[in-house]
Chain A
Amino acid sequence: MAFKNQLPLTPLSTGILLALAAEELHGYALMKAVEEQSGGVLTSGTGTLYAALTRLLEDGLIAVCQGAPGDQRRGKSYTISEAGRELLRAEASRLDAIVRRAREVNTGPDSELATEGRG
């Protein structure tokens, strides 16, 4: 487990990796995808989204698409890297363990935990 010290991921980073794991996306579509897959809980603005993207790029977890599809107006597209997929898998199993533990102590309905409740 080479990622041990990179876990846990922030929710926004997790959301971004998750969205990019499904498909390549440009900035605005990515923002919408992150929001949608969290059921509207995880919203971000342009500034925070790009801060997270910068960090993920620096860590080699995502990449800017070479010869990106789509028109010029929408800007660059981003894609998840192999390292990113692996880290996402590690984060998912970590969360999975938490969810399992939560069920054992019976904290409440699963749905709340699945979206990482607001604490």
Chain B
Amino acid sequence: MERVERLFYRILASILLPRRQRRLMGGDLMHTFDAVLEDARRVGSRNVTRVYLGELRELFRGAFQLRFGVFRAQRAPQRQFDTITTNTGSNIMEGWLREIRLAVRSMVKRPGFATLAIVTLALGIGANTAIFSVIQGSLLAQLPFADPDRLVWLSDGHEDLSPVGVDQSIPNLMDLRDGSRLSESVAFYTFANANLATEESPDRVRMLMVSSEWLSVLGTPPQIGRDLAPEDDVAGAPRVALLTDEIWRTRFGADPNIVGRDLSIDSEPVSVAGIAPPEFRFPGDPQIIVPLQHVGGDYSRGWRNFNAVGRLAEGAEVDVLSAELQSIFERLVEEYPDQNAGWSTGAMPLRTMMAGRNTQSLFLLAGGVGLVLLIACVNVANLLIVRAENRHRELAVRYAMGARRAELLSHFLAEGLVLSIAGGVLGIAGAYWGVDLLVALYGATLPRADQIGLNGAVMGFALVVSLVVGLVVGLIPLIRLRPDQLQDSLKEGARGASAQGSRLGQILVMAEVALAVLIVAAAGLLTNSLWHMQQVELGVSDIDRVLTFNISLPQAKYADAASINEFYDRLTVEIEPVPGVEAVGLVNRLPLLGGSNLTNFPVYGDPERVSHFVSVRAVSPGYFDAIGVPLLAGRWLNASEFADSAIGSILINETLARELFQGGDPLGQLVGPDWTQGGFLVVGVVGDIMGGNPTRPAPPAYYFPMALGPELFRSVVVKATGDPLSVLPTLRQIVRRMDPEVPIFQVRTLEEIARSRMGMGRFAQSLFGVFAALALLLGAVGIYGVMSFAVSRRAREFGVRLALGASRGSVLLLVLRQGMRLTVPGVFVGVVAALASARLMESILFEVSPLDPLTYVAVALVLGLVSLGASYLPAYQATRLDPITSLREE
């Protein structure tokens, strides 16, 4: 915190003090400032605050003295002996202090007004601070690596799939690394999971497999022990691992002696080489880092399961590196067309990769929350205008008594600043909770969530926003405060300038309505989009009753297919009779998650009829029962097909059937690439299941008996008759009894998977919902304020009308019509602006056009109704006016 305070003083000094001061003395001021604070610190920490505030005051005073002159006697000789501190600067200061005291006093006198204004601003500033802290932590903050702007992320692209972001193969990466001159260094990596066994319990850990340059490319050398060395990276070398700071602290009690000891990873001894530093973090939150051992290892050019991080050579640009890599890659396409045709490669800043695909949603949120703040400002400015209107005479008198325009200016500025600073403080307090709440609710979908918080940068942002808001709010009422008019109004009485006053108020309210339309429209589109996403049939049923968890067998103990199959067969048999369990199944990859697919999957022997990115699912007999997927044609796989690997029968889903056979009968056909040696026999067609991306249709998929491709890792799906978590303890016991070294991990219901799949969409939608509610509320308050002011101004006129026999209904209509005259142009401008900016939202909407007419009609209607409601109350009051009283008032 102290560093922030020092920085603040320093920034303030460089802003306030004239340039000639720095030219003469450089930064010498800071030496003395530091010495003063150091001296104060010896007395005590409370003293530091007092001295710091005093130093700030003296800085202002010194700046005024230098800018307006005191030390040269000829400028103000008559003032020299007044007091020690008398000088022009402190006169201005004291004038300001007086204005601020006055402003505070007048706020205290009218607590209702002040509370409304402060709460309004607090909502705006607090919401902006909270969103800014999310953006700052997720996107803007420097990556915790050395010289992070030179770090890039390499990935492939495929013409049918995505231009970037696809995994790469090791041989391609090695050729790229060796051929590139614009990258200083490159390290490869991939993710895996591993079983880490210690005395207490087996644990599943996230493992990053890297080439040995990994930590040095990122510039984060180990805090303890040694880095990975090239010889660790050779196939067959003794296995070593680095621990991340997080697992070192949580699992090993930050014991430095762990270095050099052996851990059991997947039942094999691995020696701990070192501990990565705390600043090392990477998407996917790896816990241990092991060498890939790719040198001399068995990695084919077509096995795309890797990516790379590189460091740009000094002075090189990402785009140029991308072009260089692509030109190298084009040679690789010619050389290895089988593996590389249709592919491309490139680099992007590592920061972009780590921000993920949520950048746009976050900036959209920032825009939305900025609009909310604008509305809040307009509202408070309106309140101040109304107040100034009521005080017109007072101001006119002050002016006539010789108050200069500058003093009136400082009066309004002081009012604005007092409100905005109070609102800012309240807003920051609110943001403090708000940020915690946001991270708690949506941390999983936010990139780099652990870096989100109210830090110095966020506080600085809140301070600047508060000051700017104070200036805006304070200055708007001044637009219409011209000296000549003030004098006129003194002559005419209070009504002279009111027409113009309300006109400015009207324009502000129209602007407010227009801004509210923008926000409500965005919220409407997002809600619509989310609704469409939720309406999509997931393809699975009773998801709230389906429990899922993962199991991974240690390789050393389960070395052959028979022992793996035996374990999983027995697991199924043991779980089935548990009370409360309706069905149990096993699969290599859970539904609704995507992943595990084949790039090309043709009709056997006919490469022209092909489907791309086909999900590959190995299943046990109970799988479809457990997740509730229907059979659409043909038959289920039978017991002998599950047992005998030679038969090669499979099920395909509806999408794969359509893509391969275009309406023809898939049953009895052979499908699969050449390596299947004879193809798979299609015996049935099952329903589609959605993949991992909520905005994409269900991927094609085929299902084969699990026993054909035994794997150590399996996901278990258990359908319960009631609450799925109630059977979990029994399931844990069963696994522990079967093998205490086998961990259960990632326990989730299918419903949780379905929900997290919505990711950022849900985050953006719910926040925009909140913003829209705020915007409507503030808009309603603004309309109400202006209308009730207008009614009070026209009280005499309404009195006369009523006295002359106008019906109450006609007066009501008159006022309501005036309210609509504010709303309709506002809505019109807002809708035009929303349509013009709608393209910004296109990429995050699902099955909703950003120009969706229904949404816009609904938004216009909602705003119309809200403003009708807001002007009804003043209108009703107008009809209740007693003609006699309102006539007598003048």
Spell out A's residues near B (CB within 8 Å).
5-13, 26-28, 31, 41-42, 44-59, 64, 73-76, 116, 118-119
Contacts and interface: CB of A to CB of B under 8 A. Distances in A.
Contacts of B25: 50, 53-54, 57, 64, 76
Nearest to A51: B62
A85 B35 CA distance: 28
Nearest to A3: B73
Interface stretch (B76-84, B140-148, B338-346): B76-84
B65 to A, nearest CB: 4
A51 B63 contact: yes
Interface in B5-19: 13, 17
Contact of A10 (B28, B32, B66, B80): B80
A45 B61 contact: yes
Interface string B13-50: 10001001100111011111101100100000000000
B58 interface: yes
A57 B74 CA distance: 17
A68 to B, nearest CB: 10
A28 B71 contact: no
B21 A13 contact: no
Majority SS of interface residues in chain A? helix
A48 to B, nearest CB: 4
A47 B63 contact: yes
Contact of A48 (B24, B26, B58, B83): B58
Contacts of B30: 75
B608 to A, nearest CB: 78
B59 A6 contact: no
Contact of B77 (A8, A28, A75, A119): A8
Q: Sorted from nearest, which 9 A-B pairs have the closest CB atoms?
A: A45-B58, A75-B31, A47-B62, A47-B59, A27-B32, A51-B62, A28-B35, A55-B71, A47-B58
Contacts of B80: 8, 10
A116 B83 CA distance: 9
Given A42-B84, A47-B55, A51-B65, A28 B36 contact: yes
A55 to B, nearest CB: 4
B73 A46 contact: no
Contacts of A28: 31-32, 35-36, 39
B32 A52 contact: no
B570 interface: no
A119 B35 CA distance: 32
B663 interface: no
Contact of A46 (B33, B72, B83): B33
B77 A49 contact: no
Given A7-B73, A50-B25, A76-B28, A55 B66 contact: yes
A41 B62 contact: no
Contacts of A44: 58
Contact of A54 (B24, B36, B74): B24
B87 interface: yes
30 contacts: A5-B73, A8-B73, A8-B81, A10-B70, A27-B32, A28-B39, A31-B32, A41-B84, A45-B36, A46-B29, A46-B32, A46-B59, A47-B59, A48-B62, A50-B28, A51-B61, A52-B65, A54-B21, A54-B25, A55-B66, A59-B72, A64-B24, A74-B31, A75-B30, A75-B31, A75-B32, A76-B26, A76-B28, A76-B31, A119-B84
Centre residue among A10, A11, A42 by max chain B CB count within 10 A: A10
A118 B188 CA distance: 75
Contacts of A50: 17, 21, 25, 28-29, 32, 62
B84 A47 contact: no
Nearest to B31: A75
Contact of B87 (A6, A10, A42, A64): A10
Contacts of B61: 45, 47-48, 51
Contacts of A47: 13, 17, 29, 55, 58-63
B54 interface: yes
A6 B74 contact: yes
A42 B36 CA distance: 16
B20 A45 contact: no
Contact of B54 (A10, A31, A45, A76): A45
A91 to B, nearest CB: 10
Contacts of A51: 17, 21, 61-63, 65-66, 71
B65 A48 contact: yes
